[in-house]
Structure 1
Amino acid sequence: MATAALPVPALGVAADRYKYRYIIAMTVSLASVLELLDTSIVNVAIPHMMGNLGATLDEIAWVSTGYIVANVIILPITGWLSALFGRRRYFAGSIAIFVVSSFFCGNAHSLAALVFWRIVQGLGGGALLSTSQAILYEEFPREEYGTAMAIFGVGVMVGPTLGPTLGGYITDAFGWPWIFYINIPIGMLALALSLSFIQDSQFQVKAEKIDYVGLLLLAVGIGTLQTMLERGERLDWFDSREVITYALISAVSLIAFVWHELTTEHPVVDLRILKSRQLAVGVVFGGVLGICLYATVFVLPVYLQNLQNFTAEQTGFVILPGALASAFTMATMGRTTGKFDGRLSILAGVSIFALSMWKHAHFTTDSGMSDFFWPLIFRGVGLGLIFVPLTNLALADLPMSKIPNGTGLFNLMRQLGGSVGIAISATLVQRFTAIHRADLIANVTQFSEVTRERLAGIMARLIVTGTPAPLAESKALMVLNGQVTRQAMMLSFEQLFLLFGACFVLSLPLLLLMHRSKGMPGGAAAH
């Protein structure tokens, strides 16, 4: 851990205060990566879990849903909980809960036990993201906030990307329980480091009363919203009574929650901080970032595995260079923070991301590894240029005491945006495929010269490879049907990539509502 000995710009008491900042940065990043890896690592192991636990796809989906629902419920109240228990105790306790529940998840012998411990794991994991960000803003001197956010951002961007790869490798090599057991040694290291180096916040004010009504309304509102997003596509959205029930409960609870929090003296989530236009716009932009980040992370592996027949491991190797480009860009951005207008960096990032999506839209069913390399590098660089300046701009007007609350709302919106992105992607892939398939089939008829030639060619190949002549025609029709479906899916993926690129570009006018941040987050402490 030689990083702790890096030169410190401050002197005397300040130098002493920031002495362990790099160790603390590594600690909180480790915890955040754990949390984010577990959001996506499980998806690859789902078929193995189904066989092992005798569960249907609908039932096993609760392993993912339970974790994410618990996560989003905890996210907005992390600042309040941190003040209630003391930051050091709350952060270390959350890691401990995460580690213990990881053991029980791996050890689960029934679906009910696995879902229960995943929910507990989500309650522990939800704290790690926002509290990590708040810790970094306090443990680094103001001129190094960019570096702090870059270290944190690398984990946030790389975690969800590497999850499926790592999950696929571990599941194939050791079995699905090990995707949970691997958390234990890493979690224990993060726990030991956090107990040794992380201190309570100097700025937090403990709430005098616990807002039980606010807590209940938040848990019900966010919980049902997230459950609706997770299950909507599977249940055919608003054709299902279950989804309509989730939507109504969520809407009523969240409206009541907003009204209650704005009128109560000791709110569990201080929504009044959204009076800061900088934060309000940053939170909305964070939601768009979540939609585009998670949707493309979701769609690309589906394309690679369904149309290119890649394994989980091969998919990981395709995605890895982009993740590394993202990490490298963020590390560079951290060094330049404050030297120029952060909005220009976001503009450049969105433009490069849109260029990458345009290149994604030119993938075909015959594309190979070399075709994926540069578009994914561009995507990584684009996202890397956005994350650090967006976080610093969003929180720029908040006093240090409100930073935990601000990071909670910012991360909540990114996470909810991610769920919306995945839900939209999963639904639109099917809808677009059905539309394109109908269009293509209209041209594949017995009266079409091209169709007759294609069928004759397929039949000739089948007969040469040993298929009896009477069966060749029906088999050729099956092959042709498969080719039409593949092309329809390919067209739907191309449309989706363009859609998410356009979605990000159309959000750019939001930047005009933000001012160029002269200061850094926490600068309003004196107000």
Structure 2
Amino acid sequence: MSPPGAPSTPPLQGRQLILGTISLSLAVFMNVLDSSIANVSIPAISGDLGVSPQQGTWVITSFAVSNAVSVPLTGWLTMRIGQVRLFIASVILFVIASFLCGMAPSIGVLIAARVLQGAVAGPMIPLSQALLLASYPPQKSGMALAFWGMTTLVAPIMGPLLGGWISDNYTWPWIFYINVPIGLLAAWVTWSIYAKRESPTVNRPIDKIGLGLLVVWVSCLQLMLDKGKELDWFNSGEIIALALVAGMCFIFFVAWELTDAHPVVDLSLFRGRNFSGGVVAISVAYGLFFGSLVILPLWLQTTVGYTATEAGKVMAPVGLLAIILSPVVGRLLAKMDPRLFSTAAFTIFAAVFFMRSHFAPDVDTRTLMIPTIIQGAAMAMFFIPLTSIILSGQPPQKMPAAAGLSNFVRIMCGGIGTSITSTIWENRTALHHAQLAENSGPYSQPFAQMMRDLTAQGMPEQGAYAVIDRMITVQASTMSATDIFWISAWLFLALIGLVWLTKPSRTGAPADAGGAH
């Protein structure tokens, strides 16, 4: 999102253009990589720090939520600090936060460092795009955005592979330490090229009350979702208190933002059909998509017996078709209704999740990878067309606010989707385990036969019971995961109706490449 009042600077040329593009892309790569690299490393992190894998997912959600809160502040911070100085500060602070993540001695310290990391990462994505667009002549802006978009698609592919390989061959802190040399190099090259291309600064007031309410209700909501499964939800006074504070602060936040002269979030945008329909569709879909990115590698490692590297290999192909098809979708979008692409994306997503709903504990790698590869086609037709619908018909002065607010809601829903998905997985696993155990016992012929077979092999009776209990746990965990995939598939199909309530104009704004993040 380019800040208001940005100067009209001449495009870069030759060596400076190449180095500037690489340095900005490196920073984006580092940022997006950190949103997915921890996914396959959660078992290693949780095991080393002595917490459950479900508690380990806080490492992901804490980053997502703090990142969501900081995104709406990018415009105000840019006007106060300048886009180049803010970008460099964001990269340097991200490097420091990454180092703190690697040094964390406990899950509490790690989560705090991830909160800091997500918060300082907020301005990095929109500012890298703004600086990159200013580096190229207008007629080559499409090429600049295509290169930028490729970076945001390659990083999620590399994240699971790199995270799994590091977790298996080194120690998990190195998934954060690798940011240090990348970030320092990107900051140094960017400053050497863009220091003289700083944007003018304006001392505009900040909506302190709105910002405070935003931080409180988002934080309380996320804490409620993360701790709910531990504290038995609304049987806990702490959960009730968090829910009440989140609800009240949200109500006051909406009322305040709709009446304040300089709101931190322009909620009036939701009065537009295209914006509201598109934001709800992309945010709910992103929550479902991101939730699966967390559950699938967790299930593979804790239930199926995959290593972190093997789980990363299963997740990695998700971006292959996305990289191939994204330029094609970008070209066709100017000629075709974006709702057609969104419909195709949600249909493919639904087919992928229906395929996953038939997974079994003995599933082979080929069966796991087929829906992952197909999902890449859905990604190519998901982010760009829906962002085009969201920005369609917006006046130029509303574009930065619309892009910022849509990204805020989407990123926040990614964190919430992770919390809800992990909670449902744990609860459904316990339910299925209880139901399977009820049908096992001396009066169950399969159970009795298995006990005879195990004891006949020389196993003691208690050992046989432990083996059967493990088999029940594996089956229950798998049934819970497939329940989530099945529900997600139907929700993707339901979102198609929401997309067709919008009416994007053919003269609407082009798709924001930032939607790919």
Give me the TM-score of the superposition, normalised by structure 1: 0.83
The one-letter amino acid of 1:426's match is S
Alignment of 1:17-36 (within 5 A): 17=11, 27-36=23-32
- What residue number does 1:221 align with? 217
**Structure 1 contact 362–494 (Cα < 8 Å) conserved:** yes
Q: In terms of mean alpha carbon deviation, does 233-242 or 107-116 score higher?
A: 107-116
Residue 209 in 1 paired to residue 188 in 2?
no
Counterpart-to-counterpart distance in 2, 1:53 and 1:505? 39
Unpaired runs of at least 5, structure 2? 1-7, 512-517
Q: 1:316-361: per-residue Cα shift (whole Å, max 9, x none)?
A: 1111122222332324323333121111111111111111111111
The Cα offsets for residues 344-384 of structure 1, whole Å up to 9 and x where unpaired, read as 11111111111111111121111111112211111121122
Q: Letter of the 2:252 partner, please give it.
A: A
- Is the 8 Å Cα contact of residues 170 and 178 (structure 1) preserved in structure 2? yes
List aligned pairs for 1:60-459, cutoff 5 A. 66-107=62-103, 116-133=112-129, 151-160=147-156, 162-195=158-191, 196-197=193-194, 206=202, 208-459=204-455
Percent pairwise identity: 34
Tell whether the 8 Å contact from 1:92 to 1:194 is kept in structure 2 after alignment.
Answer: yes
Deviations 1:223-271 (A, max 9, x none): 2223333333333332322222222222222221221121111222222
Return closer, same or farther for 1:257/1:120 CA change in 2, 3 Å cut-off: same
1:212 CA displacement: 1.8
Q: Distance in 2 between matches of 1:383 and 1:153?
A: 12
Q: More deviation in 324-333 or 380-389? A: 324-333
Gap runs ≥5 in structure 1: 1-13
Partner SS, residue 358 of structure 2: coil
Verify the 8 A CA contact 1:101 1:121 in the aligned structure 2. Answer: yes
Cα distance change on mapping 1:15 and 1:60 into 2, 3 Å = closer
RMSD in angstroms over aligned alpha carbons? 3.4
C-alpha contact (below 8 Å) 1:41/1:164 kept by paired residues: yes
1:483 maps to: 471
In structure 1, what is the equivalent of residue 488 of structure 2? 500
- Alpha-carbon distance between aligned partners in 1 of 2:110 and 2:94, rounded to the nearest angstrom: 14
Task: Tell me the SS of whatever aligns to 1:299.
Answer: helix
Q: Deviations over 1:147-195 (max 9, x none)?
A: 6655444444554564343223224434343222211222133324543
Q: CA deviation at 1:107?
A: 4.6
CA contact (8 A) 1:233 1:426 kept: no
Please point out which of 491, 505, 508 is paired with 1:517: 505
Separation in 2, partners of 1:379, 1:451: 39
Distance 1:295 1:346, change over 3 A: same
C-alpha deviation, 1:47, in angstroms = 6.5
Distance 1:67 1:165 in 2: 20
Deviation at 1:426, TM superposition (A): 1.2
SS of 2:34's equivalent? helix
User: Partners of 1:156 and 1:423 in 2: how far apart?
Assistant: 24
Cα pair distance change 1:18/1:277, threshold 3 Å: farther
Tell me, in whole angstroms, the C-alpha distance in 2 between the residues paired with 1:426 and 1:340.
38
Tell me, yes or no, if the aligned pair for 1:95 and 1:128 is still in contact at 8 Å: yes
CA distances 1:287-322 after superposition (whole Å, capped 9, x unpaired): 112212111101211221122200000001111122
Would the aligned equivalents of 1:27 and 1:190 in 2 still touch at CA under 8 Å? yes
C-alpha separation in 1, matches of 2:56 and 2:349: 34
CA contact (8 A) 1:145 1:520 kept: no
For residues 426 and 51 of structure 1, the distance between their equivalents in structure 2, rounded to whole angstroms, comes to: 17
Tell me the TM-score normalised to structure 2 length.
Answer: 0.85
